[in-house]
Structure 1
Amino acid sequence: MATLRTSRTPLLVLATAVAALAAPATWPVQAAAPLPVVTPRAETTALHDDAAGGDADADDPAIWRNPADPDRSLVVATAKQGGLRVYDLDAREVQSVPAPAGPGADDAPGRFNNVDLVHSARLGDLAVTTDRGNDRLRVYRIDRDHPGGPLTDATDPKAAPVFSSSQDEINEQRTAYGLATWTDPATGRSYALVSQRERTRLALLELTSRPDGTIGHTKVRTLDLPANFRLPNGTSWSPCGEPGELPQVEGMVVDPANGTLYAGQEDVGIWRLRADLSGTPRLVDKVREFGVPGRYDEATEECTPGTDPGFGGTHLTADVEGLTLVEEKGGDGLLLASSQGDDTFAAYDREVSDANEYEGGFRIGPASATLDGSEECDGAAALNQPLGRRYPHGLLVVQDGHDAPGDPDRPSTNFKFVDLRTVTAAVDD
């Protein structure tokens, strides 16, 4: 069951929709025909997660539209211990922002995991990122014409850790992980929704401006998603993982039209809930592996699956990763999810009234011998607005977990830029 905590009250237990967890997937089984393939138009320079590459590992992107000159719009992306990278619409790097060090030589270094943007009359245009290494939010102002680069640090240096109460806890790295931002149109207040690594907890943080112009945060409440599930056959199931780990959330996105949060619990499925973390979370779809027992092998650090009881979904293969919205007028549009386990993307109807019905799927394949597709995708971001002459119909940016061609003995990741019109056309077909 999901549990809700606020900063002012001890504990409130929500009545979770048990039927939504227990019922077998009701989606029709996909036809045997392969999913349509779309191809990227551009890719960023490869990042390498080794000492020579600055321990940079591509993870999660966000798209900032320059309203004065859409051709000069930007993509802000995380590189984990390598910090942030900023790219233009030709996928060329225009700025690199390093992650901060840990407070001591033996402490975990900064590690930027997810990023999202804030567009606020109160706060301005901001890039917000989770610093998993230091359990903090880092905040950067966006100014395309700033002489030092489009991002300038606006983080409140006194901001408290998101989940930890000490540096020892931070070093255990059960810290700030996934991220989605949200501005409440009724109040103009902006928030960050943050998930905790190796836990099911989500935190709602209000972003606030300090007297010195920096941006801090105030914790409003937390909510714990389920870690155990009752199956239709009467058994209890938890996703297999390392001892002590709970099924974490990473990919998240908020629909600004109705304040709905979609949260991807990696080994479980996609949850739909209110962005203020009130109400009852409901599963939109489950991974194929939902309900499959597993045994963790300490020697191989892998899970050996047991017999599939048939309670999983049919469109997502664990892990569920990057979630993003393709917004259209009148509430129409799509929720896109990275199905990391089979290198595909699933598309769902954006309208809650239609129960986020599955609309189709696609793959991102190679465009040429030198421009490959996307495999093991972590993060994704879509923007359905004109972005100048390069992407007049919008843009989808996805992480590629195995950039090719390259040195097979050296980790290589990057980001692919895809014309959004090719994606919507593939789903509509």
Structure 2
Amino acid sequence: MTPFRPARFRPARPTSATALAVCVAAFATLAAAAPVPAATPQHGPRPLPGITPRAETATLYDDEKGGNANADDPAIWRNPAAPDRSLVIATAKEGGLRVYGLDARLVQSLPAPAAPGPDDAPGRFNNVDLVHGVRLSWGRTADLAVTTDRGHDRLRVHRIDPSRPGAPLTDVTDPAAPRVFSADQDEVNEQSTAYGLATWTDRRSGRSYALASRSDRTSIALLELLPTRSGTVTYRKVRSLDLPSAFRLPDGTRWSPCGEPGELPQVEGMVVDPADGTLYAGQEDVGIWRMPADLRGKPVLVDKVREYGVPGTYDEESEECAPGRDPGFGGTRISADVEGLTLFTERNGDRYLLASSQGDDSFAVYGLRTGRGKGAGYAGGFRVTAASATLDGSEECDGAAAVNQPLGRRYPGGLLVVQDGRATPAQDGREATGFKFVDLRKVRGALGLPRAAE
């Protein structure tokens, strides 16, 4: 089997000895116009408040003994008829999809598709997002979970059926669904394939879309989701957009993030604000971009990682980048990689964007267009820290999802789910990952937001 190419290597970054984790920084009036104002670069861990998770999923292990499962990205499906029976749908890369109840216990496990041939890459589920109320062929509507299959360069679509509590997800991907970026299987095996994901329903037309980014490239593709007569779902590419890979710095020099030769600064974390159809995309070594979700407008870089502008030299032997002198052009709130993006809306209309600052195990939180809340701009941040000796926090977070609606008795004030890239207990050097469930009321408390009525 052709092995997966390793992820891009980046400058060494400090990590915490304790289980720190997800920083939430509230972005603001990004949908309106001006970028978040720059500030003096500040390196090292920030003195952010810590919040503790309420529950965690069983640890996944990325090896043959553990089914090559690697936790990556979550989505939260709210059951409107029975909020206590809501679900967390999460990717496990070669391990496929995992479905959890609100108690963080496994409900369903779906394998990734097999490799089409002995020398081809297997399925590899990377990111997941939800589409609500899609009308399928038989006239009924359904909620769908859409996933990027990085291994096969396709989208996978699963219908969510709450009437099947033990197996709520059913694969409805059309067998003829096209590759997203690759021309043929040989190109698929190189793994510059569909990677990050966000979904979007255009309120004007009612059409539903997925936005997929490309691994090791700067491309984002807009894909319209199309139900077929047979009850499956396919898609067509509408258009694509390439973000910059090189940048002119204030001193007149040009800079590109350091990485493995031939690889460009990729996007993974993405989310669309349904209120105005704005896409927020995290270019991992660069920062957070804002653009129209239809990809027709000009992208605006609204915040930068601290490492923005820092030169680096790639060392083939160590497969790492040695950073040079920091010229001071980076931001202060997020540290590379910028990863999972999610947002939630308060009852007064305030909207907040949460970005995983993977480099310092935190989340950066920004206020979008707001009503009576804290106003526009950076709202604060926090870390997810250990609740006990057996319930650790989150480190090196890849993905996050938030729902600010009552989810029954367990989470009456909403739920935040974050990936933990260094879950415990680790065993014999095995790569251990999982997901942490956090009461969203704790996020509000850490940010000083008004307490929502429940």
Instruction: Output aligned runs, 1:171-182, within 5 Å.
Output: 171-182=189-200
What is the CA–CA distance in structure 2 between the aligned matches of 1:349 and 1:283, rounded to whole Å?
Answer: 16
Aligned residues: 410
Number of the residue aligned with 1:372: 392
2:249 pairs, out of 203, 209, 231, with 231
Deviation at 1:106, TM superposition (A): 0.7
1:333 aligns with 2:346: no
Determine helix, strand or coil for the equivalent of 2:67. Answer: coil
Note if contact 2:41-2:328 (Cα within 8 Å) is conserved in structure 1.
Answer: no
- 1:293-346 deviation line (CA, Å, top 9, x unaligned): 000000000000001000000011100000000212454121000000100101
Deviation at 1:145, TM superposition (A): 1.8
1:282 aligns with 2:300: yes
- Structure 1 pair 337/33, CA: closer, same or farther in 2 (3 Å)? closer
1:425 pairs, out of 445, 451, 454, with 445
1:91 aligns with 2:104: yes
- After TM superposition, which residue ranges in structure 1, 4 or more long, deviate above 3 angstroms? 26-33, 352-356
1:386 pairs, out of 406, 410, 433, with 406
TM-score with structure 2 setting the length:
0.87
Number of the residue aligned with 2:78: 65
- Structure 1 pair 190/173, CA: closer, same or farther in 2 (3 Å)? same
Deviation at 1:410, TM superposition (A): 1.3
Counterpart amino acid of residue 165 in structure 1? A
Deviation at 1:428, TM superposition (A): 1.6
Larger RCO, structure (CA 8 Å, separation 6 or more): 2
What is the CA–CA distance in structure 2 between the aligned matches of 1:405 and 1:221, rounded to whole Å?
Answer: 44
TM-score with structure 1 setting the length:
0.92
Deviation at 1:351, TM superposition (A): 1.6
Counterpart amino acid of residue 58 in structure 1? A
- 1:196-252 deviation line (CA, Å, top 9, x unaligned): 000000000000001101000011000000000000100000000000000000000
1:48 pairs, out of 53, 61, 80, with 61
Q: RMSD value over aligned CA atoms?
A: 2.1
Note if contact 1:239-1:268 (Cα within 8 Å) is conserved in structure 2.
Answer: yes
2:416 pairs, out of 393, 396, 399, with 396
Note if contact 2:338-2:357 (Cα within 8 Å) is conserved in structure 1.
Answer: yes
What is the CA–CA distance in structure 2 between the aligned matches of 1:248 and 1:182, rounded to whole Å?
Answer: 21
Determine helix, strand or coil for the equivalent of 1:421. Answer: helix
What is the CA–CA distance in structure 2 between the aligned matches of 1:24 and 1:33, rounded to whole Å?
Answer: 19
What is the CA–CA distance in structure 1 between the aligned matches of 2:431 and 2:43, rounded to whole Å?
Answer: 34
Counterpart amino acid of residue 244 in structure 2? P
Counterpart amino acid of residue 139 in structure 1? V
Counterpart amino acid of residue 360 in structure 1? G
Number of the residue aligned with 1:203: 221
Note if contact 1:257-1:331 (Cα within 8 Å) is conserved in structure 2.
Answer: no
Determine helix, strand or coil for the equivalent of 1:337. Answer: strand
Determine helix, strand or coil for the equivalent of 1:360. Answer: strand
Identity among equivalent pairs (%): 71
Determine helix, strand or coil for the equivalent of 1:125. Answer: strand
- 1:20-66 deviation line (CA, Å, top 9, x unaligned): 89x98247979997100000000000000000000000000000000
Number of the residue aligned with 2:383: 363
1:149 pairs, out of 167, 182, 187, with 167
Note if contact 1:82-1:98 (Cα within 8 Å) is conserved in structure 2.
Answer: yes
Task: Select between 131-140 and 115-124 the one with higher mean Cα deviation.
Answer: 115-124
Number of the residue aligned with 2:436: 416
What is the CA–CA distance in structure 1 between the aligned matches of 2:52 and 2:228, rounded to whole Å?
Answer: 44
Number of the residue aligned with 2:18: none
Unpaired runs of 5+ in structure 1?
Answer: 1-19
1:310 aligns with 2:323: no
1:35 aligns with 2:48: yes
What is the CA–CA distance in structure 2 between the aligned matches of 1:326 and 1:361, rounded to whole Å?
Answer: 15
- 1:102-145 deviation line (CA, Å, top 9, x unaligned): 21011000000000000024252000000000000000000122
- Structure 1 pair 398/392, CA: closer, same or farther in 2 (3 Å)? same
Task: Select between 254-263 and 140-149 the one with higher mean Cα deviation.
Answer: 140-149
